[in-house]
Structure 1
Amino acid sequence: MNNSVISIDLAKNSFQICALNSHHKVIFNKKVTRKKLISELQQLSPAPIIMEACYSANPWGRKLQELGFDVKLIPPYQVKPFLVGNKNDHNDAVAIAEASLRPKARFVPVKTLEQQDVQSLQRIRERLVKSRIALINQLRGLLSEYGIVVEKLPQKLKTKIPLILEDDSLSLTTIARQFIQSLFQEWNFLDDRIKETEESSDNFVKNNDDYQRLMNIPGIGPVTATALIASIGDPHHFKNGRHMAAWIGLTPSQYASGDTNKLGGITKRGNRTLRRLLIHGARSLMNWSHKKNDKLSHWINALCQRMHACKAIVAIANKLARIAWAVLAKREYYNPTIA
């Protein structure tokens, strides 16, 4: 039995395997258990194995690659248009196979263990930062209920907490002082945990040549450089910088029909964390560009004069993504004279 493509609809304990022949007809489509997945695949004739880039796709991808299979991951948004009928494992597996056969289908590379480690650390850091922001907001709100208002900067609040706790003239009860002290200790703990995850992440990439090159790009710091390395892997998966910017979701959505051609907001596809980090870097560049005299800053200043600040920030983030691709693909350091 010659297979053109084999698709797997992943789940926790059961998997749906679908195989198409050279005429793109379904040969079989059946459910197998987790324990029998490998043995079932080894009985089939060699063919590319396609999975959605979702939960557990990377570990299964690595395992199958080690066994000699050609594994490709396809983004879920490319699969959805090919789903016919109700959503179930049987139809999902067929949709994955059919989507992968499209001439313009784009695939996501399977992440290495090192990339997975760095990305996991990034996600842990992101959760800790969110927890810290929530704690600071709660602490600020609770203090305001006792008539204590502190400047907006978190560092200002942190330096004032010990002074507030020692000030007997404030109308704080014993219970209030106790929970303020407890929240302050939790804040310090979160700061330490965030620092630990950043150090662990830096240890992975500090000797990486690509990391050093990315760090030379304005608007890209340690966290963004690490996220780029963890998410992108081989830059040659993308034809050019525009394709990488589109993959991150930093290009406009398009609606075209007949003589109508409209560009909307950005697609917001791809890695949300990476997109957010590039947006933050772009905002920082825009805020300081008027004090600089390099080519990129001149371009940013001209951009800000002809469009709204929010649009300009997204355009700068798109530019950063393209520069990052060029630096990674050409293995050259950032050159400010040709930015």
Structure 2
Amino acid sequence: MNEVTLIGIDLGKHVFHLHAQDMKGREVFRKKLSRMQLIPFFSNLKAVTVVMEACAGAHWLARKLDTVGHQARLISPQYVRRFVKSNKNDYIDAEAICEAASRPAMRFVEPRTEAQQLLAALHRVREGLVTERTATINRIHAVLLEFGIVVPLARATLRRLPDVLAVQDSPPRLIQLIHRLHAHYRYLDQQIADVERDLTSQLHEDENAARLLSIPGIGTITASLLASEVGNVTQFAGGRNFAASIGLVPRQHSTGGRSVLCGISKRGDKHLRHLLVQGARAVIQRVEKRTDRLGEWIRSMLTRRHSNVVACAVANKLARIAWRVLTRHTTYDAARLKLAD
């Protein structure tokens, strides 16, 4: 039997399909293992490179495989799809993962630590709670509007909503329904505050995240998400590569020697890109008060480009600054900012 050098795993909830290859790319074996059998199987196997798609459970499994002596590598699913041969099943998917990982120029995803995953989980929970809170506010507004009651959606008004309804000539059952929705809104608001408090406490424990707070337009939420999503920043060759990984660079459609640049690619983490763009808009709103080189550059851009284009350009710049701050283990210094790259 040939010696196994590479194993591709097609991940599942309860069952995992394995495809093993030797150093020449020839199949050695195929196996189907349950979740209970997976770790014991690799514990008794000679150290090899194990590759899987970067999806649910992949980072946890990568850490487990590293502890038993294997080299775990994660690959983006979009790079695996093109290597699937005709018909699709779980074994063919595992084989395609091996084929993709064998390419010398293939890009891999850095496995996250447990702390980074916890931060990412907090952000996902907060994002879901914020969406649900917004839906509840809109629901209150819509129900009242059906009865001719217009209430501003400001948070101050929502806090004293029962007092506002008390002076209205409204049906008792309507008031009871609004009280129920208002109690749900207050519960969600408190849950969001608790999650943000946890994020802030973890942020002060993370040295890298604390450095990010020195960058204009980056606050607690964005800094903690950057710390959890970026992982090992040395996986990116430069700030441009990091900005490209979150979709803040133009999408190319060039051919025949003619360069065609479209809008931003919008690849990578949508939530992180959204926070960086919103942070950039906050910087732009106060750009008249800035006397550094960043302020001069933004004012120059605003004279010739639309504010939305400038916001994406500033977000791109913030992403590059964040990469440099993390790689150089320093804080933001406006005097050393380079704007030509």
Do both share a fold (TM > 0.5)? yes
Q: Tell me the CA shift for residue 291 of structure 1.
A: 3.3
* 1:159-181 alpha-carbon deviations (Å, 9 max, x no partner): 451331221xx231101111111
CA contact (8 A) 1:139 1:180 kept: yes
Report the CA distance between 1:156 and its aligned residue.
4.2
Q: Is the 8 A contact 1:146 1:171 kept in 2?
A: no
Deviation of 1:114 after TM superposition, in Å, equals: 1.0
Matches within 5 A, 1:4-23: 4-23=5-24
Q: Which residue of the partner structure matches residue 204 of structure 1?
A: 202
The 2-side partners of 1:241 and 1:38 are apart by: 37
- 1:283 Cα deviation (Å)? 1.6
CA contact under 8 A between 2:43 and 2:68: conserved in structure 1? no
Give the superposition deviation at 1:205: 2.2
**Is the 8 Å Cα contact of residues 47 and 69 (structure 2) preserved in structure 1?**
no
Query: Deviation string for 1:39-63 (max 9, x for gaps)?
Result: 4334544321111000110111111
> Residue 247 of structure 1 aligns with which residue?
245
- Deviation, structure 1 residue 127: 0.5
Alpha carbons 1:52, 1:74 under 8 Å: kept: yes
Q: For the aligned residues, what is the CA RMSD?
A: 1.7
The aligned residue for residue 271 of structure 1 is 269
2:293 — aligned with what? 295
State the partner residue of 2:158: 158
Structure 2 segments unaligned to the other structure (5+ residues): none
Q: How many residues are matched? A: 336
Q: Distance in 2 between matches of 1:27 and 1:46?
A: 15
CA–CA separation in structure 1 for the residues paired with 2:44 and 2:163: 71
Q: 1:115, 1:231 within 8 Å by CA — same for their partners in 2?
A: yes
TM-aligned CA deviation for residue 309 of structure 1: 2.1
1-structure distance, mates of 2:143, 2:290: 42
Is contact 2:253-2:259 (8 Å) kept?
yes
- Describe how 1:176-215 pairs up with structure 2 within 5 A: 176-215=174-213
- In terms of mean alpha carbon deviation, does 303-312 or 316-325 score higher? 303-312
- The residue type paired with residue 112 of structure 2 is K
Which letter does structure 2 place at the counterpart of 1:10?
L
Structure 1 distance, partners of 2:9, 2:325, is 35
Distance in structure 2 (CA, Å) of the matches to 1:180 and 1:4: 63
Q: For residue 219 of structure 2, what is the aligned residue in structure 1?
A: 221
1:102–1:304 distance in 2 versus 1, CA, 3 Å: farther
In 2, the alpha carbon distance for the partners of 1:237 and 1:133 equals: 37
Shift of 1:69: 1.0
Shift of 1:93: 0.8
For residues 190-217 of structure 1, give each alpha carbon's deviation from its aligned partner in whole angstroms, at most 9, with x where no partner exists: 1110011111122222132212210111
Aligned-pair CA distance for 1:220: 0.3
Deviation at 1:137, TM superposition (A): 1.0
Tell me the SS of whatever aligns to 2:259. Answer: strand
Encode CA deviations 1:131-163: one digit per residue, 9 max, x unaligned: 0110111111222222222335x3243245133
The answer for the alignment partner of 1:28 in structure 2 is: 29
AA partner of residue 262 (structure 1): V
Q: 1:74 deviation in Å?
A: 0.7
Q: Aligned in 2, Cα 1:264/1:28: closer, same or farther, shift over 3 Å? A: farther
Which letter maps to 2:204? K
Asked whether the 8 Å contact 2:6–2:20 carries over to 1, the reply is yes
User: Does the residue aligned with 1:306 lie in a helix, a strand or coil?
Assistant: coil
CA distance in 1, matches of 2:247, 2:103: 21
List runs of 5+ in structure 1 lacking aligned partners. none
- Determine the C-alpha separation between the residues in 1 that align with 2:278 and 2:247: 15
Report the Cα offset of residue 129 of structure 1.
0.3
